[in-house]
Structure 1
Amino acid sequence: MKMRMDHRTANPAGFQAMLKLEEAASKMGLDPLLYELVKIRASQINGCSFCLDMHVTDTRNLGETEQRLSLIVVWREAPVFTQKERAALALTEAVTRISDAGVPQELYDEVREHFSESEIVALIMAVNAINSWNRLAVTTGMFPGCYNS
């Protein structure tokens, strides 16, 4: 496999902007494990193999179990996620697929039960960041290990 282009060298300013978005989103106070679960779920929806591989590895390194990692894709049917994680995953799906139905009030109310307003903004920013990374990676043809070649 070959990437279509290396976005990092094709437009360093664009890459730096993405890094700044990621840095800001990652420092807004979300639990690091929850942050990674959000990244994995959005990457699954967007079909981004590069990001999915990266964030599954990162989540393993945080001590996540193989069972939970394999069940993120079907989190609604898997009793291994907390209510707070479920709310975050539901919001991740709604924001990632925002053109389908927006973010229904019922979902927003559920998220409010588990997160402060500041944390909700942090979740939205986390979803925005990974969706941006996914779109960049998929469009430029990134794949697991592409930078190791």
Structure 2
Amino acid sequence: MEKVTPFLMFQDGNAEEAMNYYTSLIEDSAITSITRYGANEAGDEGTVMHATFSLKGQEFMCIDSNLKHEFSFTPSFSIYLTCTSEKELDDLYGKLIQDGQALMPLDDYGFSKKFGWLNDRYGISWQLNLP
């Protein structure tokens, strides 16, 4: 085995928008490659056929699915962020929760100083922790 990479499948044509958003929020992050569907290909022209991006060194792959599925993202898979300050945690939570849904609002749940779990506007689940 060469490596393990989380893979995100977007169904609303917003993979590139989500990648841009995530890489703008987390320092040391970048979109590393994008291949788009062209005219007369399986997906909508200009949407993401395949892309890679990194968040703080962790590589992800994603696509805009050219098929609609009966499933989407669930909180059973989440991106877990260990924050270095309360301000960083509060800022990230505040941005990620916009048009999203709180699963566990920011609070002290006893296992860390501060913790929050949410689904963002794209349906991706995030856990933010201040140890």
TM norm structure 2: 0.31
Greater fraction of residues in helix:
1
The normalised TM-score by structure 1 is: 0.28
Q: Which has the higher strand share?
A: 2
